[in-house]
């Protein structure tokens, strides 16, 4: 086995560090803005994220050549991307709304159930069956969330529903992406897909924010006049939202699938610990045991999936 040069190792460590920082940073900053700061406009916040993703994706690919620019080849492909953009939009909005009501630790516990919803949608839409071992690994995932819900001091039903909906939408988008963009002619890498989905999301979010978050632009301008830090917080938050997608793509490209799974599981646990330290939200032993069981279930699910692919 050839040891990569020091520069390659430093690049890998830096990339993973940036991936962690952007993922955890945007999550914590969303929570701060929506709960602690009092900026109670999750749809507008998501709109800012999507605008940044649209603009920065275009700059990264058209000017900086981070990845090759892929084109939309037909109206049918565009309609498929639009459908994915709507679901992607719903998943991000639902996640941001949930952060108004739930602590980050509980939000992450619910988000860990993504494999459960992915397995369900994969079966319903493609009749794809997993091995019995893979399905068994999902039992502790769901059991853990049920235990964590019962032991969560800050449980909020609406926030819980929004978080579950966001997690299900994220899984549905993943499955649909494989179904709708399955041909070689239609496949797009995640960064090109984001560049095309983000403007679609903006198109859905703009009227939704105007209708559902009355005078949000005027209120934001007034807040900026009183405290200019809100402008910098929104800008920084939006750039972080793009970095989440960019670094996720780069980490996927430069590491193995197994490494990505391990890092992802650890990232959730790190986010929980940091959020508890920063926001001081109350936690119970029951809740932490439930979350731990969920993480163990996700790890078992990943191992079962890896084994089933090896056996094919």
As given in the structure block, the two tokens for residue 194 are 């984001």
As given in the structure block, the two tokens for residue 312 are 């094919």
Residue-level pLDDT at 193: 92
Residue-level pLDDT at 167: 94
Report in angstroms the alpha-carbon separations of 148 from 99, 242, 248, 268, 291. Answer: 16, 30, 28, 15, 6
Residue-level pLDDT at 170: 93
Residue-level pLDDT at 232: 95
| CA nearest to 28, candidates 278, 255, 248 | 278
pLDDT (tens, 9 = 90+) of the chain, 312 residues, equals 444 554 667 887 888 889 999 999 999 999 999 998 889 999 999 999 999 999 999 999 888 888 888 888 889 999 999 999 999 999 999 999 999 999 998 998 898 888 889 889 989 988 888 888 888 988 998 999 999 888 888 899 999 999 999 999 999 998 998 888 888 778 888 899 999 999 999 999 999 999 999 899 999 999 999 989 999 999 999 999 999 999 888 887 777 665 666 677 677 788 888 888 888 888 888 988 998 898 888 888 878 877 776 665
Residue-level pLDDT at 311: 63
Q: Who contacts 23 (Cβ-Cβ below 8 Å, separation ≥6)?
A: 244, 247, 248, 267, 271
| CA nearest to 52, candidates 20, 81, 92, 79 | 92
Element (H, E) at 9: helix 6-31
The backbone torsions φ and ψ at residue 74, rounded to the nearest 5 degrees and listed phi first, read -160, 165
CA 308 to chain centre: 26
Q: Who contacts 219 (Cβ-Cβ below 8 Å, separation ≥6)?
A: 41
Residue-level pLDDT at 100: 92
| CA nearest to 233, candidates 70, 25, 78, 74 | 25
Its pTM stands at 0.87
């Amino acid at each position: 086995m050839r040891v990569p040069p020091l520069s390659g190792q430093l690049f890998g460590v830096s990339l993973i560090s940036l991936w962690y920082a952007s993922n955890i940073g945007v999550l914590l900053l969303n929570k701060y803005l929506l709960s602690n700061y009092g900026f109670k406009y999750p749809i507008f916040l998501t709109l800012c994220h999507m605008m940044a993703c649209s603009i920065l994706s275009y700059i990264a690919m058209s000017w900086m050549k981070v990845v090759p620019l892929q084109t939309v080849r037909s109206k049918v492909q565009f309609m498929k991307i639009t459908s994915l953009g709507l679901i992607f939009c719903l998943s991000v909005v639902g996640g941001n709304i949930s952060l108004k009501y739930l602590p980050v630790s509980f939000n992450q516990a619910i988000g860990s159930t993504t494999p459960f919803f992915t397995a369900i949608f994969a079966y319903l839409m493609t009749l794809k069956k997993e091995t019995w071992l893979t399905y068994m690994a999902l039992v502790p995932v769901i059991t853990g969330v049920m235990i964590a819900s019962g032991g969560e001091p800050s449980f909020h039903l609406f926030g819980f529903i929004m978080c579950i909906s966001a997690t299900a939408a994220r899984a549905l988008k993943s499955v649909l992406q494989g179904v709708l963009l399955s041909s070689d002619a239609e496949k797009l890498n995640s960064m090109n897909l984001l560049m095309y989905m983000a403007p679609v999301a903006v198109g859905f979010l703009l009227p939704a924010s105007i209708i559902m978050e009355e005078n949000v632009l005027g209120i934001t301008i007034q807040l900026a006049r009183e405290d200019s830090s809100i402008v910098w917080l929104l800008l920084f938050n939006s750039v972080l939202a793009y970095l989440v997608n960019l670094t996720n793509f780069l980490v996927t490209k430069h590491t193995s699938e197994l490494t990505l799974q391990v890092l992802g599981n650890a990232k959730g646990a790190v986010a929980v610990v940091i959020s508890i330290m920063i926001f001081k939200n109350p936690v119970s032993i029951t809740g932490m045991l439930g979350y731990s069981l969920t993480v163990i279930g996700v790890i078992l699910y990943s191992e079962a999936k890896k084994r089933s692919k090896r056996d094919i």
